[in-house]
């Protein structure tokens, strides 16, 4: 459905994708490995009917895959005309700093954005994530701006 909506309008929209969570029962259909990211990018682009992402994000750190492997495949996945940006999500600022240093020192695609949780109820990103992103000239795309539903009025705080 999204691919059909993109026809004729691709240059007018920002197309973002994410990778990590399982997309099947096979152990090779999840994570941040070179194999899975390559398959996920190619499959998503095919389904969307486009040749590139404007932003491609890693949803979670993968304890089974070395960060260097993930960053290395990002250079392939993000090569023109694929993705312009690569974004990890979410992680401590120290890890963002390490990934940024690693990617730059090894000539890999530089990380461009970070995606921390942020709302009036969770402002922790202000103390470390935002300054780290400013230091490395990275953008910030927050998630959970409604505090996991607490700011929607869904929870009334009444006892039953």
Q: Is residue 139 part of a domain?
A: no
C-alpha span between 78 and 83 (Å, rounded): 4
d(CA 98, CA 96): 5
Residue 123's pLDDT is what? Answer: 94
Whether 64 contacts 79, CB under 8 Å: no
β-strand partners of 13: none
Q: How many domains does the chain have?
A: 1
CA 2, chain centre distance (Å): 19
* Model pLDDT, residue 3: 87
**What token pair was written down for 106?**
């090894």
In a domain, 148, yes or no: no
Domain that holds residue 18: 2-113
- Residue 86 domain-assigned? yes
Residue-level pLDDT, tens digit, the chain, 160 residues:
888 988 888 889 988 888 877 787 887 788 888 888 888 888 989 999 988 888 888 877 788 888 778 777 766 665 565 555 555 555 566 666 666 666 677 776 667 788 888 999 999 999 988 998 898 888 888 889 999 888 998 877 655 5
């Amino acid at each position: 459905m999204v691919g059909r909506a993109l026809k004729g309008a691709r240059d007018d929209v920002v197309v973002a994708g994410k990778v990590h969570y399982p997309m099947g029962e096979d152990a090779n259909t999840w994570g941040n490995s070179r194999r899975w990211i390559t398959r996920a990018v190619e499959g998503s682009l095919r389904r969307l009917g486009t040749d590139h992402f404007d932003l491609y994000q890693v949803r979670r750190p993968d304890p089974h895959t070395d960060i260097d492997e993930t960053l290395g495949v990002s250079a392939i996945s993000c090569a023109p005309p694929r993705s312009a940006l690569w974004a990890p999500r979410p992680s401590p600022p120290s890890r963002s700093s390490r990934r940024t240093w690693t990617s730059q020192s090894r000539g890999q695609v530089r990380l461009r954005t970070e995606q921390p949780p942020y709302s009036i109820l969770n402002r922790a990103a202000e103390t470390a994530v935002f300054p780290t992103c400013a230091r490395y000239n990275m953008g910030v795309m927050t998630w959970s701006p409604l505090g996991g539903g607490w700011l929607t009025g869904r929870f009334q705080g009444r006892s039953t």
